[in-house]
């Protein structure tokens, strides 16, 4: 368990909880602990789904600017690789991941939310990529994951301007999936995560990999990725259980094998 990022598991749902007062600034230690937490929950076969949560006040206000300000090019060249690796570990968690966004999700905080499969935001949440105002650009996936999610033109608007968007606008442009009252964000994320408990975990992992990997390649290659994942699932117990239950008009009881 890390000092600023910890894993809490209840009812087969894991929460990666950020807790670095006051604003969950993502310094190097927090980044490493996020990566370690992501690998932990990904490897834990008892976990069906994951929620990333920064607490009632803030998701994550971004990178620790004080830590970065005096870094040289050589230092940042090394550090940025570690930063991206930690966030990529979140994106590659082999089960559904939901970001529960309260308060600010800016810079690295927004980039962390982009690594989730789904995003639930509170009504007063603010999201954005304000790095341009510091004379830099997003470095933890913002220039890549954001345009893949909301399209290049809208992504450039946010990145070029550095402006913050409200939860309502974020939902309108597809940056978040659901907006709920501020005090219901975590509960809503847990309820969404609970829908995956008892599901076919091997098929869910295959579906996530097929979609994510398919976005990186041409259509023909993507279809081949899908074909291999699809046919491979016929070797699983869950596929037999699911199709047998369908034939018998019964509810399947998946085993995750």
Catalytic residue among 131, 139, 188, 193: 131
Which residue in the list 63, 105, 121, 239 is annotated as catalytic?
63
The reply to whether 48 belongs to the active site is no
Establish whether 191 is a catalytic residue: no
Nearest to 67 by CA among 88, 87, 82: 82
Query: Where do the DSSP E strands lie in the chain?
Result: 5-10, 13-18, 49-53, 97-101, 104-106, 118-122, 126-128, 164-166, 178-180
Helix (H, G, I), strand (E, B) or coil at 111: helix
Residue from 2, 62, 108, 109 carrying the catalytic annotation: 108
- 100 Cβ contact list (under 8 Å, min separation 6): 51, 52, 53, 54, 59, 120, 185, 186, 188, 189
Residue 108 catalytic? yes
Active site residue 203: no
Catalytic residue among 14, 48, 111, 170: 111
Rama region for 249: left / alpha / beta (φ>0; ψ in -120 to 50; rest): left
List active site positions. 63, 108, 111, 131
């Amino acid at each position: 368990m890390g000092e600023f990022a910890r894993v809490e598991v209840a009812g087969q749902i894991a929460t990666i909880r950020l807790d670095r007062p006051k604003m969950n600034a993502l310094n190097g230690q927090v980044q490493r602990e996020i990566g370690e937490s992501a690998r932990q929950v990904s490897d834990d076969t008892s976990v069906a789904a994951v929620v990333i949560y920064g607490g009632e006040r803030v998701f994550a206000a971004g990178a620790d600017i004080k830590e970065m300000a005096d870094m040289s090019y050589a230092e940042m060249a090394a550090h940025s690789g570690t930063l991206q690796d930690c966030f990529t570990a979140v994106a590659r968690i082999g089960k559904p991941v939901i970001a529960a966004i309260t308060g600010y999700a800016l810079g690295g905080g927004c980039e962390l939310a982009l690594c989730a499969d789904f995003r639930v935001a509170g009504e007063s949440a603010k999201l954005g990529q304000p790095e341009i105002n510091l004379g830099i650009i997003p470095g933890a996936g913002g220039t890549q994951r954001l345009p893949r999610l909301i399209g290049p033109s809208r992504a450039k608007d946010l990145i070029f301007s550095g402006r913050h968007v409200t939860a309502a606008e974020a939902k309108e442009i597809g940056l978040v999936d659901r907006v709920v009252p501020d005090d219901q964000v975590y509960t809503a994320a847990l309820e969404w995560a609970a829908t995956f408990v008892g599901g076919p975990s091997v098929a869910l992992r295959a579906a996530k990999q097929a979609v994510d990997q398919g976005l990186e390649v041409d259509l023909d290659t993507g279809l081949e990725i899908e074909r291999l994942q699809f046919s491979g699932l016929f070797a699983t117990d869950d596929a037999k259980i699911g199709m047998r239950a369908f034939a018998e008009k019964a509810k399947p009881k998946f085993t995750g094998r």
